[in-house]
Amino acid sequence: MATTDPVLIDVPMPIRTPRLTIRPKQIGDGAIAFSAVMETWQELNQWMQWAESRDSFTAESMEIRNRHVMASFLLRETIELIGIETQTVKR
């Protein structure tokens, strides 16, 4: 009998192209996400409901959220990936 537990689903990661790496979030990515959000706040605020209050965003809150996302990915509850330009960050 085959198991139906989502935890056993293999998700081949990372996906690499010459310019981009797409992968699950990792410890420390909260700082990267925080920087990206702050850099693009004006654009995000126009389109994303969660970007209404800049006060709720800190590097620490982004890292906490990031670690919850990591746990959800491992349990296959959600798949939230990060795309990083290859020349920007080496991991």
- Domain of residue 48, residue span: 14-85
| 28 inside domain | yes
Query: Is 40 a domain residue?
Result: yes
Q: Quote the pLDDT of residue 69.
A: 93
Residue type at position 53: S
**Segments in the chain below pLDDT 50:** none
Is position 61 within any domain? yes
42 domain residue, yes or no: yes
What is the reported pLDDT for 88? 59
| Helical pair 59-74 and 29-39, crossing angle rounded to 10 deg | 120
Please report the pLDDT score of residue 71 as a whole number.
Answer: 95
Residue 3: burial class (beta carbons within 10 Å; 0-12, 13-18, 19+): exposed
Is residue 1 included in any domain, yes or no?
A: no
The domain total for the chain is 1
Question: Is 4 part of a structural domain of the chain?
Answer: no
Q: Residue 58 has what pLDDT?
A: 85
64 occurs within a structural domain: yes
* Domain-embedded: residue 31: yes
